[in-house]
Amino acid sequence: MKSILLVEDDPFLIDIYTTKLKEAGFSVEVATDGGEGFKKLKEQLPNLLILDIVLPYIDGWEVLEKIKSDGKLKNLKVVILSNLGQKGEVEKGLKLGATKYLIKAHYTPTQVVEEIKKVLK
C-alpha cells in the first residue's frame, strides 16, 4: 500500500482528501502545519507528499526547500495542492522540485486522486 502525507490546514479539505485517498487504497497521514509535516517526513518517509503552500508556522515553500536540501528526502515525490494559482507561483513550485502543481479550484477531489495515481505509477 502506498503511503501519502497530506500537509493541509483546512479541516474540511483534510476530511475530503483523506476519505478519497483511503477509498483509492492509499494509507494517509495528516499534518496541519509545515513544521509538523516536516517532522513526520523525517520520522517516516511516505511514497508521496501532498503539500499546501499557505500553512501556519512554516509555509509550503519553506517545507519544499528543506526537503530538496535534505539528502534523505530530496527524491521524495511532492504534489503541491494550493489555491495559489498565479503562473509565477506554479513555476516557483516546479522549480523548487515539486513533481506536480495542482490548483485546488481547478480539480475535484476525485481528479486530484487520479493525478496522484499517475504520479505514483
Helix runs in 6-107, H state only? 11-23, 34-43, 60-68, 87-95
Q: Which domains does the chain have, with CATH numbers?
A: 3-120 (3.40.50.2300)
Give how far Cα 97 sits from Cα of 30, 75, 94, 106, 108, Å.
21, 9, 5, 21, 24
What is the C-alpha radius of gyration for the chain, rounded to an integer number of angstroms? 13
> What is the helix (H) or strand (E) element at residue 117, kind and residue range?
helix 109-120
Place of cell 509555509: 59
pLDDT bin (cut points 50, 70, 90) of residue 43 is very high
pLDDT tens digits for range 50-102: 999 999 999 999 999 999 999 999 999 999 999 999 999 999 999 999 999 99
How much is the pTM?
Answer: 0.97
